[in-house]
Amino acid sequence: MKPSSPPAASGARETHLKRTLGLPSVLLFGLAYMAPLIVYGTYGVLAGASQDTAALAYLIALVAIVFTALSYGKLARLFPVAGSAYTYTRKSFNAHMGFMIGWATLLDYFFLPMVIWLIGAAYLGAAFPSVPAWVWIVAFIVLTSGLNVLGIELAARFNIVLMVVQLGIAAMFVVLCCHYVSAAGTGSLLTVQPFFQAHVPLSATMAGAAIAAYSYLGFDAVSTLTEETIEPEKTIPRAIVLIALVGGAIFVIAAYTLQLAHPGAVFKDPDSAAFEIARKVGGDIFVTIFLAGLILAQFASGISAQASVGRLLYAMGRDEVLPKSIFGYIHPRFRTPAINIIIAGIVGLIALKLDVATSTSFINFGAFLAFTAVNLCVIRQYFSGAPGSRGFGFMGGVVFPLIGAVTDLWLLCSLEKTAIVLGVIWFVLGLAYLGWITRCFRRAPPEMAV
């Protein structure tokens, strides 16, 4: 890391992000980003795509994510700065590749908050049909933007409350499903049915795993909080792996018990399958509690997602890849990337003209591309002999990240064709912009400012 530059003028002081987060806060931030209850909101679609092997689909996705999480952890130790996959690729390979991975990551980060707010508005619209959907979308954007501008510490404290509620409702749903199966005598609580069915081809389960991986988005987002975390070299790597494992355990257990309570993938409405199961196992009272929990989950996830895209834009603006005066700005009082947070909120208004299916179709493309790049960065660092990479070992520096890269690419190829086409279009647009700012690639983008 380069030494700090001297002040531009006497008495001037550069504004930096504030270090306030410990392991519990970072862990809860990542879990909130994941929104554990979303496993219930997407269960019907996933059960149909995987042909009733949703639990195995989540488990396969977890294997891919864990290997990638290990790579993120290694790179977070080497480069304890904000920026996530963008920073890692830029430092491990070159500025051009770093920009393109940052651009691909923006596809995920930029549109994920919008999808979260859109889904939350859909739930509220179902409960209160007389209220226009735009009211809920705008309310989500205003509230989450306000909390994030005021500071990540306040948002983290708010997330703790919301996460406790989410985990409590998820635990209640699991217990009710198990009680229903036991009381009805419809089957055993210990069975391989949710994981293996002879008539289901692996391709169907892999298609489900590509969708299930959407639920894991967030384990890597905490790497963007590196510059606001206490002892980031230790805290961030631990948090990344723990988030993947804890989130994966919640998803697998939830899918397993849902399938026990409702074998098969036939529902009145796949988009609201969990509501059908909730009423079946817990009655109308639990359905009301469950709906409230889902809304809280979307709100907590929106806070985390918007905070992350704000910090990614900050890293790119600070490096002058994007205009520094706008994207590299830190609010002098709240010490947050306020302009970026507001921009993310404005982008979220696009949800007023889109539906859930359209907006979620290509998010995973950017995520899988970034995950693959991170794994390759670990391999690159290992063979380059860079300081700090010698402790990886051959397994941790080559074998594990190679497995992660291959599985991430496999999941990318398992996405729907529409998602791949839209992702490629976004990537080409980024390549054109890179060519413009580098004068047809004749010069490199600005060097890292850290």
Mean pLDDT, 10 residues at a time, the chain of 450 residues: 39 57 82 79 84 91 91 85 77 88 81 80 76 88 86 64 83 94 79 83 87 80 76 85 92 94 83 83 89 79 80 78 84 85 86 68 82 95 82 90 93 82 89 88 60
The whole-number pLDDT of residue 179 equals 92
Is-contact 306 113, C-beta < 8 A? yes
Which pair of tokens denotes residue 98?
A: 């770093």
The whole-number pLDDT of residue 171 equals 93
% helix / strand / coil in the chain, to the nearest 5? 75, 0, 25
Distance CA 105, CA 312 (A): 9
The whole-number pLDDT of residue 156 equals 61
Is-contact 294 40, C-beta < 8 A? yes
The whole-number pLDDT of residue 157 equals 66
Q: Point out which residues pair with 229 in neighbouring strands.
A: 21
Q: Please report how many Cα atoms fall inside a 13 Å half-sphere around the Cα of residue 137, on the Cβ side.
A: 21
Give SS3 for 428. Answer: helix
Is-contact 202 60, C-beta < 8 A? no
Name every residue whose Cβ is closer than 8 Å to that of residue 49 and which is 6 or more positions away in sequence.
Answer: 57, 204, 207, 208, 211
User: What phi-psi label fits residue 444: left (phi over 0), alpha (psi between -120 and 50 degrees) or beta?
Assistant: beta
Give SS3 for 3. Answer: coil
Distance CA 106, CA 116 (A): 15
313 alpha-carbon distance from chain centroid: 16
Q: Which domains does the chain have, with CATH numbers?
A: 23-437 (1.20.1740.10)
> The tokens 């004068």 sit on which residue?
439
Distance CA 330, CA 390 (A): 36
Cα-based distances in Å from 401 to 63, 224, 242, 345: 12, 20, 18, 35
Picking from 312, 311, 313, 315, the residue whose alpha carbon sits closest to that of residue 450 is 315
The whole-number pLDDT of residue 272 equals 74
Name every residue whose Cβ is closer than 8 Å to that of residue 157 and which is 6 or more positions away in sequence.
Answer: none
Cα-based distances in Å from 39 to 109, 125, 259, 384, 403: 19, 20, 12, 40, 26
Listed in sequence order, the DSSP H helices in 216-327 are 232-261, 273-318, 324-327
Give SS3 for 21. Answer: strand
Distance CA 251, CA 254 (A): 5
The whole-number pLDDT of residue 1 equals 35
Cα-based distances in Å from 187 to 282, 319, 361: 18, 58, 36
Is-contact 348 117, C-beta < 8 A? yes
Q: Point out which residues pair with 21 in neighbouring strands.
A: 229
The whole-number pLDDT of residue 8 equals 42
Distance CA 392, CA 74 (A): 8
Distance CA 316, CA 337 (A): 12
What's the longest Cα–Cα distance across the chain? 78
Is-contact 272 126, C-beta < 8 A? yes
Is-contact 53 206, C-beta < 8 A? no
> The tokens 């359209």 sit on which residue?
358
Distance CA 237, CA 310 (A): 21
Which pair of tokens denotes residue 279?
A: 């009423």
Name every residue whose Cβ is closer than 8 Å to that of residue 440 and which is 6 or more positions away in sequence.
Answer: none
Counting beta carbons within 10 angstroms of the beta carbon of residue 307, is it exposed (0 to 12), middle (13 to 18) or buried (19 or more)? Answer: buried
